[in-house]
Amino acid sequence: MPDEPRYGKELKKIVFEETDHQHAKFIIRLRHNSITQSDFFRAIIDGFIESDERICSFIEDYAKERKLMNKQRIEKSRMLKNFGRQKIQDFGFSKNEIESIFDMIEEEAGEL
pLDDT digits (tens, 9 = 90+) for 17-51: 999 999 999 999 999 999 999 999 999 999 999 88
| Angle in degrees, CA 3, 106, 85, rounded to 5 | 110
Mean pLDDT across the chain:
85
| Euclidean distance between CA atoms 85 and 67, whole angstroms | 26
Is residue 11's pLDDT more than 80?
A: yes
Q: What is the pLDDT of residue 2?
A: 59
pLDDT digits (tens, 9 = 90+) for 56-77: 889 988 988 888 877 788 788 8
